[in-house]
Structure 1
């Protein structure tokens, strides 16, 4: 019985020793979430270990193919596969295998894993890199005198708030590169508000700006004038339509013009003056002829009648 109990104790000790050895030789650390602002530099570290024999950075960006950086201590040699010049060792990899990303861009967003092999065992560290893009803040007054705050092309989407209470609802517009533009129009409960402040909250930094807008006094007059012009336009259009309809109706009801009649009496009246003229001419001609004949006859003869 005692020997059996001793064997069980010895077995438990061996199991605990093996588990401790495995934990010491191989240890996996969970993913670390890190962020970097676009345009800045970011440094990712590896587990600090002595007597390193090999270090490998495996990079899997969200956009584009994977790449890798490697170092072998036995050959004192580094190599890279499909990695851009913006990613390189921060220091000498045999002393500090940290990775530096210069001029961080949206394309650098993704997963970064450092694998270290040494005399103490194998270790790895994984980072999930998120790139932050600060939005461009614009504050202006619209045509109606209302303040408008715009946080353009931010990543992630910015949060807009106003110092004074209002009932505005922000609108978001996404872009192909993953950035978001947020637009908020200030609508105050009181019409006496002229000066207000827009606050933009973002992980890359907060911004604020103030503006004084004066409500347009001509809005009522412009609306009134627009209504009058619209009413006059409708009346003019109706008058033109009525005129053309009346004109068309007049020509449809007008009796057709008849050709003038030509009577024989008119022809007789037109011919009679000519006939009288001819008769008078004949009488004159006969008288002249008789006179001429009488003058040419011998003495004692008279023209025959």
Structure 2
């Protein structure tokens, strides 16, 4: 009885594998050429449904539904692993961030290989020996979710990867002599970079989103905020941090600022002295005019006094003569008059 049960179990398992292989071969047979990344939602979903319908329930969950976040720089390479099980069928499904799909499948029993992914996505060696997916080089369109599903006699197992493509920004630091500013630029980075300054000071930042999904950040720094002879721009990014140093010309910016203050103070002092001299000049001029007026009035007064004296002099002489006459009259003998 036990031998008979074991025989039935083996026959059911092999029957399931043969049915699965035949169904996948029929579903994927056709004109799926590997031209770029051909996205056929219907075929991809059909293959996934086939795997789920033709396998028996899982008896272990040790490797089932594993999720892994991955991040890599653009133009590099990456290898994604499948669950380490002997398999009858393996399917890689890729759902890209731009909304497209592709798949790669291999049926062990019939050595049947189907795919419609781009040429930069392939098996590491061959699917019968290594089920890993190798992507080289990485492009921006490769960003998305990758799922490897294997079917064995006791269920299905999967590894799922969320792949993020990093684009390091192109960093530059320039000095604007006319505007007294420094410009730190992190161009075409993904994800968005962050910019900071040393020493800290007043700065403004602008960002621009490009058509390929990358971003450019530009930070403008007021050099008068700098203390010292150097200025450093720091760019922080997941692909790697960078720092650029700018040597400030003609000494430190603080010395320049101090020189400007001295010049302004000197100018204010010069203007103050000039105003004082103008005040003194106008004061002396006004004093001279007043003195001239007084001098011009003096002779007129004297002449008037002289005229008055001249006018009064005949009258005074007459009075004196009259007085003399009266005095002499008094000297005559009594009874005699001057007329006699």
Taking structure 1 as the reference length, what is the TM-score of the superposition? 0.59
Q: 2:219 aligns with which of 184, 188, 191?
A: 184
The count of corresponding residues between Structure 1 and Structure 2 is 195
Question: What does the per-residue CA deviation read over 1:193-230, in whole Å, with 9 as the maximum and x for residues that have no partner?
Answer: 44111111110111111112347x8xx9xxxxxxxxxx
CA contact under 8 A between 2:201 and 2:226: conserved in structure 1?
no
Query: Are 2:195 and 1:160 equivalent residues in the alignment?
Result: yes
Distance in 1 (CA, whole Å) between partners of 2:158 and 2:144 is: 17
Higher helix proportion: 2
Q: Give runs of ≥4 in structure 1 deviating > 6 Å.
A: none
| Whole-angstrom distance in 1 between the partners of 2:203 and 2:218 | 10
CA deviation after TM superposition for structure 1 residue 24, in Å:
0.8
Task: Give how far 1:36 is off.
Answer: 1.2
Show the counterpart of 2:241.
Answer: 206
- Offset, 1:27: 6.0
2:207 corresponds in structure 1 to 172
What SS does the aligned partner of 1:78 have?
Answer: strand
Matched-pair contact (CA < 8 Å) for 1:197–1:208: yes
Query: What are the residue-to-residue correspondences of 1:268-287 with 2, within 5 Å?
Result: none
Q: Which deviates further from its counterpart, 87-96 or 188-197?
A: 188-197
Matched, 1:140 2:174: yes
Matched, 1:62 2:97: yes
Q: Are residues 1:92 and 2:126 paired? A: yes
Secondary structure of residue in 2 paired with 1:48: coil
Give yes or no for contact 1:150–1:181 (8 Å, CA) kept in 2: yes
SS of residue matched to 1:186: strand
Residue 23 to residue 148, structure 1, CA distance change in 2 (3 Å): farther
Identify if the C-alpha distance between structure 1 residues 116 and 212 changes in structure 2 by more than 3 Å, giving closer, same or farther: same
Match of 1:127 in 2: 161
Q: Provide the aligned C-alpha RMSD in A.
A: 2.2
Once the two structures are TM-superposed, the CA of residue 148 in structure 1 deviates from its matched residue by: 1.0
* Range with bigger deviation, 155-164 or 132-141: 155-164
State the distance in 2 between where 1:85 and 1:133 align: 21
Where structure 1 has 5 or more consecutive residues not aligned to the other structure, the ranges are 1-20, 221-305
**Corresponding position: 1:150 with 2:185:** yes
Aligned to 1:117: 151
Q: Aligned partners of 2:81, 2:154: CA distance in 1, in Å?
A: 18
TM-score, normalization by structure 2:
0.53
Cα separation, 1, equivalents of 2:209 and 2:186: 12
Q: Which moved more, 1:25-34 or 1:174-183?
A: 25-34
Contact 1:168–1:184 (8 Å) recurs in 2: yes
**Residue of structure 2 in register with 1:282 after alignment:** none
Q: Which residue of 2 aligns with 1:29?
A: 65
Residues 123 and 133 of structure 2 are in contact (CA less than 8 Å); yes or no, is this contact kept in structure 1? yes
Q: Would the alpha carbon gap of residues 165 and 24 (structure 1) be closer, same or farther in structure 2, given more than 3 Å must change?
A: same
Distance 1:152 1:126, change over 3 A: same
Q: Which stretch shows the higher mean deviation, 26-35 or 94-103?
A: 26-35
Identify unmatched segments of 5+ residues in structure 2.
1-56, 261-340
Equivalent residue of 1:117, what SS? Answer: strand
- Give the whole-Å Cα distance in 1 for the aligned partners of 2:223 and 2:65: 52
